[in-house]
Amino acid sequence: MDLLRVLNFMPLWLVVLGVVATFQVYSVGLMLLCRRKWGPDQLRLNNEVAGFKFSVIGVLYAVLLGFVVIAVWEDFRNTEAAVRNEAKAIANLTQLSYALPEPAGSGIRAPVVAYADEVRRSEWPAMARGLPSDPASHAIAHVTEAILDLQADQLRDLALYQQALRLLGVIEDNRNERLDSADGSVPPILWLVLVGGAMIVLGYPAFFGTSNLIAQTLMTAALAALVALALLPALILDYPFTGDVTISSAPFDQAMQQMPPHLKGHPPPGFEPAPPRP
């Protein structure tokens, strides 16, 4: 959803403040309007029946909200794992290329380095918009072509060829997983249910009446803040490459520095560390 992505592009403190304030204004404002229209004495007659219904609605919404937050958090962690596994496979494939005869080894090493560089430089900003990077797609295609062009004439070369194919599959599978997560994992209909449920839960305090206006206002505002803060993790973590809370591309920097012992400190030609992310 474009609106949710726009919210994630905003500073985190502003998103938290805006969501909490919006929920509080809605809940407290509706409560004050109902008190003004019907008065606390009339509303007090609803306390017993409304309290029972509110407890049922609150439990149902808490279960739904908890389920969504846990699902989003697990997807965020799985995407982090996919990034690490992809970077490890790139490092392993780079090391494997040194065991291959030349020019086959350098023929694989160069496109692997180019792919890792494109992922860090172009695909991370593209995933922030929920899109893949064409240069990265072309780079992984060149890696595939280089591996498929290998000539395995000896038994040792055949084993290395099979290992290179396995690592290529790991890279492609984990890349597809992080690209799938870049556009969010919660479907729009579920967001509609979450927001609509929040409006129902936060609207219910308006049907209660107490003699102490300040106490009722504070309780209503606290409830609104609690619901907003519980909903925020799902909103922020659903887009793992957008906003302030994002998955870092640092594993790719570390992967390309994991050279064999005699080559440490001398990465392949064309590799440059990515500039620090703000």
Task: Check residue 1 and give its pLDDT.
Answer: 54
Q: What pLDDT score does 274 carry?
A: 46
Going by the DSSP 8-state scheme, the letter that residue 245 receives in this structure is S
Please report, for the chain, the start and end positions of each structural domain, with discontinuous segments joined by +: 2-260
Per-residue pLDDT tens digits for 131-180: 899 999 999 999 999 888 877 665 567 888 889 999 999 999 999 999 99
Give the C-alpha separation, 239 to 247, whole Å.
10
* Burial classification of residue 86, based on how many CB atoms lie within 10 Å of its CB (0-12 exposed, 13-18 middle, 19 or more buried): buried
Mean pLDDT to the nearest integer, 236-243: 92
Instruction: Choose the weakest-confidence range: 91-95, 193-197, 199-203, 263-267.
Output: 263-267
Whole-angstrom Cα distance, residue 159 to residue 24?
63
What count of residues does the chain have?
A: 278
Q: What is the distance between the alpha carbons of residues 235 and 15, in angstroms, rounded to a whole number? A: 10
Is the model's pLDDT at 11 over the cut of 80? yes
- Assign 3-state DSSP to the chain and report helix, strand, coil percentages, each to 5: 75, 0, 25
DSSP label of 204: G
Its sign, for the CA torsion 232, 237, 272, 135, is: negative
pLDDT of residue 277: 45
pLDDT beyond 70 at 245: yes
Looking at the chain, the whole-number percentage of residues with pLDDT higher than 70 is 90
* Model confidence pLDDT, tens digit, residues 77-120: 999 999 999 999 999 998 888 888 778 888 888 888 889 989 98
Q: Which residue did the predictor score with more confidence, 8 or 170?
A: 170
What sections of 98-128 are H helices per DSSP?
Answer: 104-118, 124-127
Phi, psi values for residue 230, rounded to 5°: -75, -30
Write down the residue that tokens 């084993």 correspond to: 159
> Helix, strand or coil for residue 200?
helix
* Predicted confidence (pLDDT) at residue 265 exceeds the cutoff of 80: no
| Among 10, 66, 9, residue whose Cα is nearest residue 194 | 66
Euclidean distance between CA atoms 207 and 117, whole angstroms: 59
CA angle centred on 166, ends 162 and 171, rounded to 5°: 145
- Mean pLDDT over 246-270 rounds to 65
Is residue 276's pLDDT more than 50? no
pLDDT of residue 185 exceeding 70, the answer is: yes
